[in-house]
Amino acid sequence: MEKMWAGRFAEALDKEADDFNSSISFDCKMYREDIRGSMAHATMLGARGIISEADVEVILGGLASILADLESGALAFDMDCEDIHMFVEAELTKRIGDAGKRLHTARSRNDQVALDVRLYLREQTGEIVVLLRELLAAVVDKAEENKSVIMPGYTHLQRAQPITFGHHLLAYAMMLMRDVGRMEDAVKRMNQSPLGSCALAGTTYDTDREMVARALGFDGITMNSLDGVSDRDFCVELMSAYAIAMMHLSRFSEEIILWSSWEFKFVELSDAYTTGSSIMPQKKNPDMAELVRGKTGRVYGNLMALLTTLKGLPLAYNKDMQEDKEAVFDSIATLKKCLSVFAPMIATMRVNVQNMYRAAQGGFINATDLADYLVKKGMPFRAAYKTVGQIVALCIEKKTVLDDLPLDEYRKHSELFAEDLYGSISLETCVEKRISAGGTGKASVEAQIACVRAFLAGK
């Protein structure tokens, strides 16, 4: 096939170089955006008298028929075309003749691709946000069901203080809400139309960039034509938002993997989201969670790849930038798949309330509360901390726990101890007394649930 740019060349492009150069195998994903952008561009060219209204009509009809045929499968992408932009233009000209050749007036593939990627990322990020919200809904439902279920809270993966499982899950809800916010912020910043920047310097035609921008749902236009065609910071920003979301899913996965081990047995995943072993008949493996954790690496890698690609590029467009698409498309596809399995995996996860409670009974998890007990009776915190440390050491020696140590043993350490100490260190009290805003106490957990529900309701 003769290249659209063949005019100044005497020889044809080498076959292997042609394949190397071609991007249609992946940028064909953006056919809807490409056609939509061309429709808005043609309409503007007509409105400004740059091409005739008759040509606009034929172009719009031709583009609509190409779109319909691609959607129905009647038309296949021609892999001999260099990219999606060339494919659509060539097909249009094939269908409508000369009018098709007028479409590219006052436009370059450089502003065209910058436009298509923005439109595509806006759409895809919207879909990711829907999936994030579905996961958030599953997480908040699970949190509500488990708002009074006591488990050990950890630091350094050592039992630290008792919390509720609801409170633990809500920590992830907070992260997911910020993920949504980060993506929406990035989309907002990205939502400026670059079309009309042309190759790099703008155009001599009297175009109306604002009109195109409005037609395509942008908030405005990019103000510098070099920047419009050559920056991909919006890809980097969204890819880092995707990477951060993956990081959250990966940490959550890690906990689910730990919790479903025999050692913890805090949760059991549904059979629908686990797999067996080919040799060990007893195995029930949390593969989905492991894959989410594993795929986080490639989403980080995509971000690093694009940052590295962009770092040395002189203005304006360089072909290196064609590398943006496979990276960003892969991050999108990966995140979408992960979110799609994660939400139902959480929704169907069974919680082992007894095991969580039993784990919370060990590890001297109520030691801080015992120190607080002394503080409330007048002892300075540091002194109380030391006293309780000694009592913990005694319990370890006697192979007992704080709850079972007799009062006379306590009173050897401090006269401040009285019978009421036992009530004040029960796991239920430890949780209920944590009334500070954002803590694991009931009112805070309910406030968190209400906050997530309001977010989901769009309030």
Residues that bind ligand ARG (CB under 6 A): 23, 27, 83, 109-110, 113, 317, 319, 321-322
DSSP readout, 40-52? Answer: HHHHHHHHTTSS-
Q: d(Cα 440, Cα 102) in Å, to the nearest integer?
A: 65
Note if 156 is an active site residue.
Answer: yes
- Residues 6+ positions from 408 with CB-CB distance below 8 Å: none
Considering the complex, what minimum distance in angstroms separates the CB of residue 349 from ligand ARG?
42
Considering the complex, what minimum distance in angstroms separates the CB of residue 8 from ligand ARG?
14
| CA dihedral (219, 224, 227, 233) positive or negative | negative
Considering the complex, what minimum distance in angstroms separates the CB of residue 29 from ligand ARG?
12
Quick one: 288 or 316, whose CB is closer to ligand ARG? 316
Quick one: 271 or 320, whose CB is closer to ligand ARG? 320
Return phi, psi of residue 430, to 5°. -55, -40
Q: Which two tokens stand for residue 134?
A: 């579905």
Considering the complex, what minimum distance in angstroms separates the CB of residue 73 from ligand ARG?
24
Considering the complex, what minimum distance in angstroms separates the CB of residue 205 from ligand ARG?
19
Q: Which of 25, 52, 277, 340 is catalytic?
A: 277
Query: Can you list the positions of beta strands (E) in 58-107?
Result: none
For the stretch 82-98, what's the b/e string if a residue is b when 16 or more beta carbons lie within 10 angstroms of its beta carbon?
bbbbbbbbbbbbebbee
Q: What angle do CA 250, 253, 256 make, to 5 degrees?
A: 160
Quick one: 119 or 140, whose CB is closer to ligand ARG? 119
Q: Which two tokens stand for residue 191?
A: 């939502």
* Maximum Cα–Cα distance across the chain: 101
Q: How many helices (H) and strands (E) does the chain have?
A: 20, 6
Query: Can you list the positions of beta strands (E) in 169-241?
Result: 192-193, 220-221
Note if 277 is an active site residue.
Answer: yes
Quick one: 198 or 211, whose CB is closer to ligand ARG? 198
Q: d(Cα 177, Cα 133) in Å, to the nearest integer?
A: 8
Considering the complex, what minimum distance in angstroms separates the CB of residue 13 from ligand ARG?
13
- Smallest CA-to-CA distance from 297 within 326, 336, 334, 259 is with 334
Q: Which two tokens stand for residue 152?
A: 């050990």
As beta bridge partners, residue 158 has 155
Quick one: 122 or 142, whose CB is closer to ligand ARG? 122
Quick one: 8 or 319, whose CB is closer to ligand ARG? 319
Quick one: 20 or 262, whose CB is closer to ligand ARG? 20
Considering the complex, what minimum distance in angstroms separates the CB of residue 314 from ligand ARG?
14
Amino acid making up residue 423: G
The residues carrying an active-site annotation are 156, 277
